[in-house]
């Protein structure tokens, strides 16, 4: 039986059955985001304590919802860390929820792209595991596609380009340019922008050769 790994501490621990939903319908957890959050918890562990007031959840509703569903699916959910906050009454506690769920800092496509590159986080992992309301991940995907392209053009000496044998066809080394990509995303769009026609010989994601007319 699989058990969720706890990777954080709090001022105390509570079983999820003792925690009370307090957010109402303020947020909705879609099936897609349930799967992403479940995947994140399984891969990274439970790594942030829940914020509570009198055992009422102020921050962490979606994670507790996922843990409850995971328990129904047969996962072992140990007592989870919680931190408590003081509120004079229910109304103030509700205001604290709004404060804790507000995102004052905005994630941008460029900022996320730079963060991922520095941390060497794979694009597919981000698209399958995380959700950012401020960012269209397709924009980030395009940034990776544009950045990964390296084009070697200009004056190249004849002897620098060997003949290349593709599927038995020997191509004249003087009739080609070499395009180098780190991955295969957006290749067709890039080639169209360069004016290269549909006579591309694909060798791999690393190397493409386009015959110049």
C-alpha span between 84 and 54 (Å, rounded):
8
Helix 137-147 and helix 109-119, axial crossing angle in degrees, nearest 10: 60
Rounded Cα distance, 206 and 149, in Å:
10
* Residue that wins the pLDDT comparison between 93 and 134: 93
Q: What is the pLDDT of residue 21?
A: 96
Q: What is the mean pLDDT of the chain?
A: 79
Per residue in 100-130, pLDDT (tens digit) is 999 899 999 999 999 999 999 988 889 888 9
- The conformational region for residue 154 under phi > 0 = left, psi -120 to 50 = alpha, else beta, is left
Joined together, the tokens standing for residue 73 give: 């699916």
Average pLDDT over residues 128-142: 87
| Domain extents in the chain | 12-101, 109-146, 148-211
pLDDT band at 142 (very low <50, low <70, confident <90, very high): confident
Whether the pLDDT of residue 199 is over 50: the answer is no
Do β-strands 50-53 and 149-152 pair in parallel, antiparallel, or remain unpaired?
Answer: unpaired
Q: Three-state SS for 77?
A: coil
Predicted pLDDT at 107 = 92
Convert the pLDDT of each residue in 21-63 to its tens digit. 999 999 999 999 999 999 999 999 999 999 999 999 999 999 9
């Amino acid at each position: 039986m699989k058990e969720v790994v706890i990777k954080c501490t709090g001022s105390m621990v509570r079983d999820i059955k003792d925690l009370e939903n307090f957010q109402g319908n303020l947020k909705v957890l879609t099936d897609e985001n349930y799967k992403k959050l479940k995947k994140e918890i399984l891969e990274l562990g439970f790594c942030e304590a829940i914020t509570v007031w009198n055992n009422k959840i102020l921050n962490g509703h979606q994670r507790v919802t996922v843990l409850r569903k995971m328990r129904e699916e047969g996962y072992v959910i140990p007592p989870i860390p919680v931190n408590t906050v003081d509120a004079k009454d229910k109304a103030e506690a509700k205001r604290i929820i709004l404060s804790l769920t507000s995102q004052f800092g905005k994630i941008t496509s460029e900022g996320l792209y730079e963060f991922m590159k520095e941390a060497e986080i794979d694009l597919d992992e981000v698209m399958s595991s995380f959700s950012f309301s401020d960012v269209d991940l397709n924009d980030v995907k395009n940034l990776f596609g544009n950045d990964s392209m390296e084009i070697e053009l200009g004056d190249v000496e004849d002897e620098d380009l060997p003949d290349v044998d593709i599927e038995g066809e020997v191509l004249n080394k003087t009739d080609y340019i070499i395009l180098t990509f780190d991955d295969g995303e957006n290749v067709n769009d890039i080639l169209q922008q360069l004016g290269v026609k549909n006579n591309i010989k694909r060798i791999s994601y690393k190397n493409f050769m386009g015959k110049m007319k």
